[in-house]
Amino acid sequence: MKQNEISLNSLLIDSDRFLLTDEEIGDNHVATSIDTPMREDAFDLSDLEKIKIIEGHFREIMLTLGLDLTDDSLRGTPNRVAKMYIEEIFSGLNPKNEPKVAMFENKYGYKEMLIEKNISFYSNCEHHFVPIVGKTHIAYISSGKVIGLSKLNRIVQYYAKRPQVQERLTIQIAKHLQKVLASEDVAVFIDAKHLCVSSRGVKDDSTSTITSFYGGKFQEENTKREFLGSIQS
C-alpha cells in the first residue's frame, strides 16, 4: 500500500511563498486554515430554510445534467440530498451539534496513556465534495480528568461531518481534546482513503493518507513509539 505521510505540528501553506490556482489547490488537496472557513452569517438561516434553498439548487443541477425529475425514483432526490447535507453529513458545521462532554475524576489514579483505536469516520473532501473514509486512533494521558470513551467517537464524528481536509481534521480533533482534557498530552493518528484520489483525477485506489498530531509527552520519542506500536498491533 502506498501512503502519503504528513506530520502536523504546523500547518501547511505560507501564502507569501505559494500562489496556487484554484485547480492546483484542489488537485493537491491543500489546506489554507486550521479553522473551517465559515462566513459570519453562516447561521442566520434556519436549518429548514437552508434545506429549501439547497433543494432548489440541487434540482437545477439534476435538470442541467438532463435527468427527468418526474421519474418516481428521482423526484424526491433534491429534498433528500438537501436534508442529508444539513442534518447528516455536514451537521458538524453547526456549533449547536458539538457533543456535550462529561468529564470524570481520575479516581483510579491511572497515569499511563489511554488509547482508543479504529474510530471509523466518513467525511467529505472540501475540494470536490466526495467522501473521505478512514480510521482515527486517539491517545491521551490524564491530567486528573478522564473522558467517557464514547465521547471520543462523538468528537471525531463532529469534526468529520463537515467539508474537510485531512490535515485540518487531525488538528481540530487534537485541539478540541487538549481543551476539554486540560492536557497537552494528546495524540491523534488518522489513516484515510480519499475518493477524490481513487475515483477521479489520478484514479489510484491503492493510496491512503496518514496524518498525525503529537502534543505534550507524545512528542517524546519513547511515548510516541509506544503509541504507534499499540495502534499498529
Query: So which residues are the catalytic ones?
Result: 125-128, 166, 194, 196
Could you tell me where the beta strands, DSSP code E, fall in 17-156? 103-105, 113-125, 131-141, 145-147
Helix axes 77-84, 47-64, angle to 10 degrees: 130
Q: Nearest to residue 159, comparing CAs of 181, 185, 134, 182?
A: 134
CA-CA distance, 122 to 173, in Å (whole number)? 14
CA-CA distance, 156 to 5, in Å (whole number)? 20
CA-CA distance, 230 to 70, in Å (whole number)? 54
Residues 6 or more apart whose Cβ sits within 8 Å of residue 206: 1, 2
For residues 166 and 211, the answer to whether their CB atoms sit within 8 Å is yes
Residues 6 or more apart whose Cβ sits within 8 Å of residue 53: 45, 82
